[in-house]
Structure 1
Amino acid sequence: MPKTQPVPDRPSIDQPALLAALRARVIRLEGAGRAAHDTAAIPVCDGLGLPGGGLARATLHEILAAEPGCGAAFAAVLLARSGGTVLWIGAGTDALTAWPPGLARFGLLPAKLILLRAERWSDALWAMEEALGCPAVAGALLAPDWHADPAAAALDLTASRRLQLAAEAGGGIGLLLRPDMANPPPSAAASRWRISALNAAGAGHGMGDPCWQLELLRLRGGRPGGPWAVTWRAAAGRMERDAAA
């Protein structure tokens, strides 16, 4: 029987070349090498009682989603409200792929969106850190392989602290989008949200306004809250809280 040749590891991405390309793309989109970020909090939804009225910029936030569609939709709303160029970084061979026309329904326009996919988790983490540290980037999202073993895309406290420090340096908002889990590991994220769909259109694929259940599990300098029933009004570009919930 002939010997089986070992399969060589796939080479890591060319980080310097990718970084140069991303910087050039951001500069073209913004028309300048440095974006003047708004310092106001990014609004989420009226009636949630968030300190400052929304999510702080220059900060890392975490989203736990019951299924990919509602998580991507909620993340798109937040990124769109950052007001500038954003990066959507998928990690792994089955990473959550962004569909620009679908994200546009939630205010995230393709002209402001840069998509990046990295097969290696280490490369995705590197790209996220570089993106958050760039002042011309208003926001960046990191989404792991949705169906892989969570341990394969572990984000320990040290790694999340590096992302938080990068966000502080760059001034944009950082989002970690991951599947919901019973006992999420500790992280340096300033807030942790849980979202799930409340109706068939909740994933963002239906024709009606999607309705979600939103819960704030943790907030630095604030108190947890919810769950709340909220509806995304696509025509108005507004998220509304259900008064009965």
Structure 2
Amino acid sequence: MNIEYRTGARLSVLRKLGVADLVNTSVFDIAAAHAALVRRQAVPERILTDGLVVDVPAGVYHPLPDSSSEFFIRNIKAMDQEKIRKTLEIGAGCGIISLYMAANWTSRTVATDISEVAVQATLDNAALNGLTLTAFQSDLFEKIEERDFDLIVFNTPMIDKTPENDIEKFSLCDPHGLITDSYLRQARHHVSNDGLIIFSICNNSAYEVMDSIDLDYSIVGFELGFSGFWRAIVGARV
């Protein structure tokens, strides 16, 4: 991709989100932190968080205290559950976000993931916590026939990097923003008229793909981290 075009598209997105005066379009050196996360995800782990106990298999995204999963849950807590009758999570991983909604909301909860291991972890963790939800394998919306979800959630793999292993491929990397692009183009056909699509971006995402997709974007959650690293949860409406 032409660097000048990419920079322009990234700036356009930041302006649409209203944060162009807060952050710049530069990527951030997270190589060491990324490598540490890959190593940790190679080991299964039991995590206690948000009143839930989750067993996370090796290779599935770990919802640690500073993870993007927890970032999502902190912002979801502020949503008015009375307005949300049916939720869909894409790329649920161990299921922590969907499990939180199933534990605290009255809405019907559907969780999917491209990984069979992740789907089974979500079902096992639902049983472990005495919760009811629907979970099945799907590559994005490939096997999702339902429409009119009031909330569609995707804790998007955020790093614009060619995966070097399965951990990066299934939970951490979105090379050239192809996954984000496909998610947004498909999600618009599954969200209700007044519904909300949410997903994540950061300095190192190929978030410039948003500039060519005609949706109404807004910031749902935003965090400035160490030395200029930032991440955001973006809302989109049709």
Give the greater-gyration-radius structure (CA): 1
TM over 0.5: no
Q: Relative contact order (C-alpha < 8 Å, sep 6+): which is higher?
A: 1
TM bin, normalised by shorter chain, reads: 0.3 to 0.5
- Structure with greater proportional helix content: 2
Please give the TM-score of this superposition, normalised by the length of structure 1.
0.38
Please give the TM-score of this superposition, normalised by the length of structure 2.
0.39
